[in-house]
Amino acid sequence: MMRTAIPAEEIFKKTRSVGQYYGFSPFATLAAEERGSAEALAAREKPRPDEPAPSDPRAATMAAFLLQARATGILAREGRGPLFLWHSNLAPGRMAPKKVVIQFHAIGSDRALAEAVVIRALSALVADLYHAEPAIRLNSMGDRETRARYLRELATFFKRRASILPPECAAAAAKDVLAGAELVAAEHLADLLPLSTEYLSDASRKRFEELLEHLEATNTPYELARDLMTDGAHWNDACFELRAGERRVAWGSRYHELARRVLGQAMPAVGALLEVESAAGAGAPLAATSPAKTRFAFIHIGDEAKRLSLQLAGDFHRAHVPLSQDIGVESLIEQMRYVEKKNPAYLLVMGRKEALEGCVILRDRATQEERVLPLAGLSERLKAVL
């Protein structure tokens, strides 16, 4: 039987651990580092766009996060690569809420790799928390061009099928065809609906195909779900959900439109929300604990290496090898900055050549000694180095 309430300490510890293995930094840590910087001071003085709060609860949660992120100045840093962050309403020193909300964000990356990293990290965390492999379901509503085509097709669908649909569906569609389509899906009649992916623009089709390629290349099981739909006021392109048992536990999407509305500027981004019921315990504040010392940092260059690193992250995590990486960051310079910050004893380096040959270079940072290790059984070999 799947767990429902989970101890707050366990939720926090596992979120921090999964974030490290998949390259997501704690937002609280970055915010503390930026506090008092020129960018942070300028961000606090910048007026907020005159935009009402989103009525969609998921959009409202992510909008609040974006405003927090802007206030720290981290979104304004020049020359900084994509930001992969996790954030939660669960924090050391505070009372644990009954409903814990965990957010994963990939900000500043327009590539489908960002969605793949978010999905894989979420999947690992859900499996850790619920002791069951989640089902991954995804769809794409495309960009503005796609959405306009699809809404026209939905209007035609309701005109032709109104007589065979539940009356409430046709009534809702008369006001909002997307709302009508969601009711059709709720009635378990989604197979009647036109597929949004058949109306994708060239750009949206390419992005969605790249996402599917990343998932297939990393042996990530998924299913296409035509009943997953999003409104165009906040969301773009791919949307996805993770289900544990019969329950949706996580949801995510690209949110270029939400960022534009909240921040007043276009910004490519992916966000996901995971909601967990907390077993808050005796009412004591969440204890502060230190993360494990990073012994290994993984540097990778090229899509082949990135995809392998996504698969290996799960192996390292299950084997409890103290490793961190920036999977979604392509720049070697940015990855090396991350290494300097973490200051691990060893580096794992993989380029296209190593990825194709099924190996990785292990470098001792103290002596600069290097060894080539096969990927098969890598986590066990790294344990021998500890």
- Burial track 107-121 (b if 16+ CB lie within 10 A, e otherwise): bbbebbbbbbbbbbb
The 3-state DSSP class for residue 52 equals: coil
Token pair belonging to 364: 């001792």
According to DSSP, the residues that pair with 248 across neighbouring strands are: 243
Task: Could you please state the CATH topology (level 3) that the domain comprising 296-385 is classified under.
Answer: Rossmann fold (3.40.50)
Under the banding of pLDDT at 50, 70 and 90, the label for residue 253 is: very high
Could you report the per-residue pLDDT of 331-365, keeping only the tens digit for each? Answer: 888 888 888 888 899 999 999 999 999 999 999 99
Please give the C-alpha separations between residue 329 and each of 207, 302, 306, 362, in angstroms, as whole numbers. 18, 10, 9, 20
Q: Say if strands 323-325 and 346-350 run parallel, antiparallel, or are unpaired.
A: unpaired
Q: Say if strands 223-224 and 135-140 run parallel, antiparallel, or are unpaired.
A: parallel
pTM: 0.91
Show Cβ contacts of residue 349 under 8 Å, excluding neighbours closer than 6 positions.
299, 300, 360, 361, 363
Angle, CA of 172, 178 and 179, to the nearest 5°: 40
Distance, CA of 56 to chain centre: 19
Q: Is the pLDDT of residue 45 over 60?
A: no
Largest Cα separation within the chain, whole Å, is 76
DSSP annotation string for 7-34:
EHHHHHHHHHHHHHHHTPEEHHHHHHHH
Per-residue pLDDT at 41: 52
Q: For the residues 60-69, what does the mean pLDDT come to?
A: 94
Q: What is the pLDDT of the chain when averaged over all its residues? A: 89
CATH number for the domain formed by residue range(s) 5-141+201-279: 3.30.930.10
Helical segments of 231-377, H only? 256-263, 303-319, 332-342, 352-357
**Spatial contact of 271 and 255, defined as CB atoms under 8 Å apart:** yes
Could you report the per-residue pLDDT of 91-143, keeping only the tens digit for each? Answer: 888 888 999 999 999 999 899 999 999 999 999 999 999 998 999 999 999 99
Instruction: Return the H-helix or E-strand segment holding 115.
Output: helix 112-130
Please, where in the chain does CATH 3.40.50.800 lie? 296-385
Instruction: Return the H-helix or E-strand segment holding 160.
Output: helix 144-161
Token pair belonging to 384: 């021998």
Distance, CA of 170 to chain centre: 35
Please, where in the chain does CATH 3.30.930.10 lie? 5-141+201-279
The 3-state DSSP class for residue 271 equals: strand
Per-residue pLDDT at 36: 59
Per-residue pLDDT at 47: 53
**Spatial contact of 121 and 22, defined as CB atoms under 8 Å apart:** yes
